[in-house]
Structure 1
Amino acid sequence: MGETVVVVGATGKQGGATAAHLLAAGWHVRALTRTTTSAAAQALAAAGAEVVFADMDDPFTLAQAMKGAHGVFSVQPAPHDPGAPLGYDVETEVRWGRAVADAAASAGVAHFVYASLVEAAERTGVASFDSKWEVERHLSSLDLPTTVLRPATFMDGLVVSKDVLDGSFAHLLDPDTKYQLIGVDDIGAFAALVFADPAAYAGRSLTIAGDERTPRELATVLGRALGHPVAYHQIPLALIRQHDPALAEVFAAPSPGERADVPALRALHPGLMTFEQWLSRHGRARLAEL
């Protein structure tokens, strides 16, 4: 501990969670951002991180940021992420992911952790899944000790509409389809665990989730948290296709990714959250914002 870990995407969800857990574990965090004066960047600096400007389309800034680093945590926005830059697409995601990996390899970092997603274990034909698969393929061609984290669906992305306050939880999945979930904070916790034990994780991928629920069950849990019934409503895929074809493509495709072994993961990280625990620790604040 005390060595430097570069965190790409440090002002975002996964990068921010990783930076927080690394700081708590005693690492020196070098947080990369394109906007060092943003509120999120200033909060990282106040927490003890070294905030550094870098642009993933500028190899020089990446090379400067990697100097002397022990490790790198790399994550790029998903193409359908509302917070992604204007004009961002799957080609940009692949280009940025490769650029960060190349800079880390050139700098000789000891451990590289890439945040992918559960569906990226193989080519699927879905562009926003295969972009991460392409980055993983590039990583495998480098002389760079790497761990790939493959998180399941984010719990943090479920409560995004104030309709839930009025008793309606909407999603695209069949009401009785079970799918795995993880809190973003737990992704940061696993990243910190991986950096702390490189011998156990370098050269491996780790599929991570903290719970497995159906949309109907999630609506019930939300209702208990809010103190009033919440009903589940499935959004017709055709409606989504009219407004966001790329997002519709994600949900129309089968989900071939590996299943996470949640009990084994909880043994590694005893604080791994269920959906109820995530609501209690993080979700209530989100509900209050709505």
Structure 2
Amino acid sequence: MEAVLGKTVVVVGATGKQGGATAAHLLTAGWHVRALTRNTTGPAAAALAAAGAEVVAADMDDTSSLVRAMAGAHGVFSVQPAPHDPGAPMGYSTETEARWGRAVADAAKAAGVEHLVYASLVEASERTGVPSFDSKWEVEQHIAAIGLPATVLRPATFMEDLVVSKDVLDGSFAHLLEPDTRYQMIAVDDIGAFAALAFADPESYAGRSLTIAGDERTPRELATVLGRALGHPVAYHQIPLDIIRQHDPGLADVFDSSAAEQADVPALRALHPGLMTFEMWLSRHGRAQLAAL
């Protein structure tokens, strides 16, 4: 692994979940973190500055601002909001997401950055016809086409996105999958950990795509784990896909797709021994999220 002392990593999306986790892990590892945001005066930016990051204004619709912000940097972490994210700007779409992802890669190339780490999606290893998957696939293809040394991280479902309804407090956990369908998930903090590992060891990670997950469970098992954490039974209720399709065809297509690769969780845990299971995430982070519902 190369020394990180004095080297700068630019974190795009630093005020979001994945960018914030990456910035935190990089700061802990001793990197100089340059956090990019459109709003340098907001509370998230202030928290980054207090943690030791250099907060810099940049806009993914302004490539020249990105190139300036990346000047002299060793690496860039790139993530764009998904269209359904609460923090996505008005009028944001999968086309915007792909355009922004390409712009960050082009800026990194123009600035002479040595290593880009791109946060993609587990389903983005091929074109699927699902817009929210294909936008990330298009960015991956563009990164490869311009010849930028890069690591692509393809995270599974976020554990944070599984506990978003107050219904769970009343004993009901709902999802679209069959009760005994096994699927993979990862804590957002662990995405940041893998990004930091990639920057610290480019010889092992540059030029590589890595599907990442920390656990594999069924919806029924997740309900049981949530029940233990809450101290009362939690039952699983499957949401009929046809109902979702009436209101959000794109979301229905996501769960109807079989494009997802499978992560090798034991191998990933060997690389990152702190990789969290769902129980570990609940214990460390999830209880606060449950309390905030």
TM-score for both structures, normalised by structure 2: 0.97
Q: Match for 2:264 among 261, 265, 270? A: 261
CA apart distance, 1:84: 1.2
1:119 equivalenced with 2:123 (yes/no): yes
Q: Match for 1:31 among 35, 40, 43? A: 35
Q: Match for 1:44 among 44, 48, 52? A: 48
Deviations 1:125-179 (A, max 9, x none): 1110011000000001113110000101100100001110000001111111100
1:184 equivalenced with 2:188 (yes/no): yes
Partner of 1:228: 232
Query: What is the letter of the counterpart of residue 275 of structure 1?
Result: F
Q: Match for 1:194 among 191, 194, 198? A: 198
Q: Match for 2:246 among 242, 245, 270? A: 242
Report matched runs for 1:123-202 at 5 Å: 123-202=127-206
Deviations 1:201-250 (A, max 9, x none): 11000111000000000000000000000000111122222322221221
Give, in whole Å, the separation in 2 of the partners of 1:163 and 1:51.
Answer: 38
Give, in whole Å, the separation in 1 of the partners of 2:131 and 2:167.
Answer: 30
Partner-residue secondary structure (3-state), 1:119: coil
Contact 1:80 1:247 in 2 (8 A): no
Report matched runs for 1:94-113 at 5 Å: 94-113=98-117
Give, in whole Å, the separation in 1 of the partners of 2:196 and 2:108.
Answer: 18
Partner-residue secondary structure (3-state), 1:180: strand
Report matched runs for 1:72-111 at 5 Å: 72-111=76-115
CA apart distance, 1:270: 0.5
CA apart distance, 1:13: 0.4
Count the aligned residue pairs: 289
Partner of 2:289: 286
Give, in whole Å, the separation in 2 of the partners of 1:86 and 1:169.
Answer: 30
Root mean square deviation, CA, Å: 0.8
Give, in whole Å, the separation in 2 of the partners of 1:189 and 1:66.
Answer: 22
Partner-residue secondary structure (3-state), 1:121: coil
Partner-residue secondary structure (3-state), 2:173: strand
Deviations 1:106-127 (A, max 9, x none): 1111100000011100111111
Give, in whole Å, the separation in 2 of the partners of 1:80 and 1:238.
Answer: 20
Query: What is the letter of the counterpart of residue 130 of structure 2?
Result: V
- 5+ long unaligned stretches in structure 1: none
Partner of 1:19: 23
CA apart distance, 1:25: 0.3
Give, in whole Å, the separation in 2 of the partners of 1:35 and 1:172.
Answer: 36
Give, in whole Å, the separation in 2 of the partners of 1:84 and 1:222.
Answer: 29
- 5+ long unaligned stretches in structure 2: none
